[in-house]
Amino acid sequence: MSHFLLLDDSDVQHAFAAHLRKLREQEKLSRDALATRSGVPAPTIKKFELTGQISFRQLLLLWQSLDDLSRLFALTQNTENNQSSMPTSIEEVLKDGF
């Protein structure tokens, strides 16, 4: 039996922060080194890693510095196919055994 995962904006913010922090640490970059590489100030990076709060532009700069930006861009593409696999009514949920 599948379970739905209920997420809110805070969960997603913290997930992005954790992902980028993990990548930063894997590359053995300090916050200062990442700040130099990305153009995002080190205090902003610290705040982001602790709270998940950052501007969208700064998130993109960090992502570009640590990961493949096209992976993030891909989330915006082909949304019709992604939407069709999700149930749109309680009847579909019950029918499909979610």
Which residue matches tokens 């599948």? 2
Q: Whole-model pTM?
A: 0.73
pLDDT at 14: 95
Name the band, by pLDDT with cuts 50, 70 and 90, for residue 97: low
Residue type, 68: D
Q: Residues 19-32: what's their mean pLDDT?
A: 97
- Give kind and range of the element (H or E) at residue 12: helix 9-26
Query: Does the domain made of 9-72 have the CATH classification 3.55.50.30?
Result: no
Between 94 and 41, name the one with better pLDDT: 41
Q: Which of 67, 16, 84 is nearest to 45 (CA)?
A: 16
Q: State pLDDT tens for residues 34-75.
A: 999 999 999 999 999 999 999 999 999 999 999 999 988 988
- Give kind and range of the element (H or E) at residue 46: helix 42-51
* 75 contacts: CB under 8 Å, gap ≥ 6: none
